[in-house]
Structure 1
């Protein structure tokens, strides 16, 4: 007997935050930037109880993971998690990742929110990498008129990346 699927529900904010939270790198890390944004639902309303989770390579394009034998920079976690606030805003302090073999610099993003049966997965790419972005096989597979939903914009102390779960300007999500 199987149980029915459940949406993520409002309790993810209680069970999923972790100690390092939005800090992929420590304060004062050279090259540290903030990735900030807002999560919107299909009606364009703010989502005050979503959770953004990131996983990325370090500035040299290496992961802190056993599957990457090169290893990451000492002390680099590569993982961040931030709940949205009452205005639907999140922020992750990190470094811009280096390029991976055959891929442009990017950050992997999972979004959890009430009403979703499963997390949705997307990527953040960076402006100023036109050549690398054009050669990235994942970004190239996205219809050209939708690629902009995956590219952050520069802001004062880093980048802005809004997530639109549905509707006009919906962020591209990947079936993983």
Structure 2
């Protein structure tokens, strides 16, 4: 580079940063070197790696977009607001991570593909330990509103061997798009756990999933609105499946044909998890002989494959 030549950077998606004179670029490079070296004395190698990589990428972002001081101030205000609204019942930082795809990327990296093991997706903020146990064929709704849905399948390993006694924890929103914990009245509804039989089979009654918005009355909702993004999540039913010697699976299944499959606000949809929820007219016999009167219902099959532990 000749003296006085200005430099520019092109981002991954073709955006070009303003040209920067060489002397300015060197000032900025020197600052990055000083910040990076400030972590050289860290004796925790992993922590040092994380902090130095964060600095490199953060400064690269700042320099690519040539962030203004006013924009920097707005960013601090936004993060402060995210912290202010976070409490024991609401985790706005997780919501922010979800809507930026960071949660889903972390899950994808830490659940590498292994054979035909079922894919993982986001955990979500509404899991609760200590859900009621139901028998196979029981009902997880406990009075939650919604159309009944019969869910059945098997749990196997990647060699196709049935996994008896696998713990299946399930939870979902009601027909109004709310989880039990969002009501604040202590109810337990739309969640339970059960175990597979000797053939790895499971079955239960739940609620046909419906779409709903993530909490969007805070700073993350304001961000989504500002950039023209919807807060809606595609209709889904949560599963967490555990069995000794196998990787714990956290996943959902989604309703084929749902309007929000291609715009899920937390990027949780994977095509392998989109299932056929087959609608049944009122009066159609149910698999277990349950009398639903004149109520319609649906049914879905979800066969689960667990990867070996550590894979």
TM surpasses 0.5: yes
> Normalised by the shorter chain, which TM-score bucket?
0.5 to 0.7
Q: Does 1:162 align with 2:303?
A: yes
Deviations 1:96-153 (A, max 9, x none): 232121211111110011113x632011111221x3111113235x4xxxx22x1223
Question: Does the CA-based 8 Å contact 2:156-2:162 persist in structure 1?
Answer: yes
- For residues 306 and 194 of structure 2, the distance between their equivalents in structure 1, rounded to whole angstroms, comes to 17
Counterparts of 1:26-175 in structure 2 under 5 Å?
31-65=147-181, 68=182, 71=183, 77-101=189-213, 102-116=232-246, 119-129=248-258, 131-136=259-264, 137-140=266-269, 142=270, 147-148=271-272, 150-154=273-277, 157-166=298-307
Equivalent-residue separation in structure 2 for 1:80 and 1:46 (angstroms): 22
Q: What TM-score, normalized by structure 1, do the two folds share?
A: 0.66
2: CA distance between counterparts of 1:88 and 1:53? 15
Q: Taking CA–CA contacts closer than 8 Å with sequence separation of 6 or more, which of the two structures ends up with the larger relative contact order?
A: 1
More strand by share: 1
TM-score relative to the length of structure 2: 0.39
Contact kept? 2:134, 2:194, Cα under 8 Å: no
In 2: Cα distance, 1:17 partner to 1:76 partner: 8
Contact 1:24/1:76 (<8 A) preserved: no
More helix by share: 2
1: distance between equivalents of 2:189 and 2:134?
A: 9
For the 8 Å contact 2:151–2:300, the answer to whether it is kept is yes
Answer yes or no: is the 8 Å Cα contact 2:209–2:255 preserved in 1.
Answer: no
Shift of 1:55: 1.3
TM-superposed deviation, 1:63:
0.9
Aligned to 1:170: none
Alpha-carbon distance change, 50 to 19 in structure 1, aligned in 2, over 3 angstroms? closer
Size of the aligned set, in residue pairs, is 139
Q: 1:76 and 1:151, CA in 2 relative to 1: closer, same or farther beyond 3 A?
A: farther
Any gaps of 5 or more consecutive residues in structure 2? 1-129, 214-231, 281-297
Please tell me whether Structure 1 or Structure 2 has the larger radius of gyration of its CA atoms.
2
How far the C-alpha of 1:94 sits from its partner, in A, is: 0.9
